[in-house]
Structure 1
């Protein structure tokens, strides 16, 4: 671990973003809940907004078991999906317009699914949001050989970040932001969030290539298949 001589300037205020969804397919699955907030340098949330959407399709039991939202509840209490997608995108754009980095854990999932939802509902998509801070990618790059899983709950515990209410969009978003702050205090990051964003593009691509090779070796992928290493947005191809 290389202790930074100076903390990066972006640590003073960061956006945080998380989605809970109907599944893990970024092209076909839909938003159920969303959270966008702002943390100060101490990890305190100083602004926040939550959304509950009616995704327009049934929420599978497996997804409900993760985030707790049933189809019936989403239909009764959720807002139209198109409105939620538009408002979440607008909130993220507003933070980025201020030059504020946005933290999202495994960002290529959340931003890719949001981009596909935007295409689906005729909302201008965030096709190249930046700067994005992704603790999932950064942790794997700076502490490559640490054993164990890299889920948010495991990584949060490793960096002594509390995570109460895992798989609630608000709890996950805030925990990811606090992990990002912990990482910035643990490792020597580049001077600007934009430089770190650029580095993450290359890291994510290399990590996807390495995982592709591993999955081919263990028989989870065919030799001609690859894992999309696009970051922070994979290819957008809404049905």
Structure 2
């Protein structure tokens, strides 16, 4: 019986995988990889390693999770080193818990290797800090997908910076709900598409513009994208003014 490694591939670029992740990928006998994993990432695996695509893409035909779980278990029963290569970080919107439970039920040893999630990589690409003194002291990572009967997205409104995964086709509805919940229409929005890859694109607009459909014809259905909402994603001149104001207020309070 082999060992399974749930490895975070990072946001896209092959050289953003961790050193540990790349090393373990180089030992793999079998690699079960997500659809969002860049082809160049698979070059870290040995030539003899079997590569199995088990990705899930919103709105497209994809592999059922139960079948993925079975494939991982079956591979571990036949091989020494099995890698489940997941986009971003395995523990964030990656269904890692379901795969871990399947491995535990089968008595198979496993290890989780973290990866850089898209929110962090996108903030780096935009040169915008997710947390910023006087502007943003809290961040919510969310998805518009939800269980039936849950309370839509209102529970995220209190976070200063909001990052929505898998929100490409729901941008208009997300923006409308946030405005209805009290977010100003002037709130800055950044959309980052295909983060860290050669295909990366970014778009800056406002929550009001997003609600009006300003990004509908911009996003590409074939590419993953992230919605980043909050004052932390304003242009740098505006951010500089906000930060200067916060420093001045703190100085007055201290005096």
Which structure has more relative contact order (CA 8 Å, sep 6+)? It is 1
Larger radius of gyration: 2
TM superposition score normalised by structure 1: 0.30
